[in-house]
């Protein structure tokens, strides 16, 4: 595979195969172009968002950005932001943010998202729901026609209390969609994965379309024991997609 820098793109004349991580970095750098000095920023979580956090840190160090305040969406991002020198605060001090940048696991044509396969969906939803602008950064593998249709997990954060009961209620809720519900566990020791908020995650897998997303969302949230789910409906304002043939920016 030829060595490329993050600005090179493939074209029919010069095919260059970029890795998924290189595409994530390209999308992240493009998103950071939206950042201006003095902004309060939501800092996303995951392998794509971490490129954006690193880039913001770099621009601060170079003096090209000033007076940034970051609001991290996870303990991991908090650690990374500290390590690259981004001053941090929280939603209590900054209830309205200028801009958030984060990745996603699935994006549909209406900019609805599935997030949380990295386990940070609750803080992400709180922070990103408080932003004037929410820029989603993905490589092209994340684009789907319908949320939940990729065969990958739709995460739901639940309280640990009687988690088997909640898992079963969630599975039954989507029985017509052929739902399989699994408690997320660490692969190394089989222990339940615990979120930054001390909760568990149930991953839902669907064989069939789950139908109206808003109805599904409301129904999941009505179930006692559920804290939040990974569908981010009508929240993203801009989508940046990096693919083999270039970067596209789509505004809602």
- The residue ranges that bind ligand 5RP (CB under 6 A) are 44-49, 102-105, 115-121, 124
CB closer to ligand 5RP out of 41 and 49:
49
Closest approach of ligand 5RP to the CB of residue 107, in Å:
10
Smallest Cα–Cα separation from 110: which of 211, 232, 206?
Answer: 232
Which among 106, 124, 128, 157 is annotated as catalytic?
124
| Least Cβ distance, residue 230 to ligand 5RP (angstroms) | 7
Q: Is 140 a catalytic residue?
A: no
Do 142 and 152 contact (CB within 8 A), yes or no? no
In angstroms, the CA 222 to CA 179 distance is 18
In angstroms, the CA 207 to CA 196 distance is 30
| 35-58 core/surface letters (b: 16 or more CB in 10 A; e: else) | beeebbbbbbbbebbbbbbbbbbe
Q: CB-wise, 182 or 208, nearer to ligand 5RP?
A: 182
Determine the Cα–Cα distance for residues 119 and 4; give it in Å rounded to an integer: 31
**Least gap, CB of 45 to ligand 5RP (angstroms):** 5
Q: Given the complex with ligand 5RP, which of 119 and 243 has the nearer CB atom?
A: 119
Active-site annotation, residues: 124
């Amino acid at each position: 595979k030829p060595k490329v820098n993050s600005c090179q793109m493939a074209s029919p004349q010069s095919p260059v195969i970029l890795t998924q991580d290189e595409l994530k970095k390209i999308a992240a750098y493009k998103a950071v172009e939206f950042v201006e000095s003095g902004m309060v920023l939501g800092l996303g979580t995951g392998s794509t968002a971490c490129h954006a956090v690193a880039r913001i840190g770099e621009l601060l160090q170079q003096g090209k950005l000033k007076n940034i305040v970051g609001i991290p969406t996870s303990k991991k991002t908090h650690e990374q932001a500290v390590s690259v020198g981004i001053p941090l605060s929280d939603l209590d001090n900054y209830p309205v943010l200028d801009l958030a940048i984060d990745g996603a696991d699935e994006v549909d044509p209406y900019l609805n998202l599935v997030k949380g396969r990295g386990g940070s969906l609750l803080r992400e939803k709180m922070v990103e729901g408080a932003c004037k602008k929410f820029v989603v950064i993905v490589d092209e593998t994340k684009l789907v026609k319908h949320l939940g249709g990729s065969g990958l997990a739709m995460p739901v954060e639940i309280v640990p209390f009687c988690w088997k009961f909640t898992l079963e209620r969630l599975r039954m809720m989507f029985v017509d969609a052929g739902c399989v519900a699994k408690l997320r566990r660490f692969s190394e020791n089989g222990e339940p994965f615990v979120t930054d908020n001390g909760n568990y995650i149930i991953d839902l897998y669907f064989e069939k379309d789950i139908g109206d997303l808003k109805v599904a969302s409301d129904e999941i949230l009505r179930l006692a024991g559920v804290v939040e789910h990974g569908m981010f409906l009508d929240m993203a304002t801009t989508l940046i997609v990096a693919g083999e043939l270039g970067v596209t920016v789509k505004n809602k």
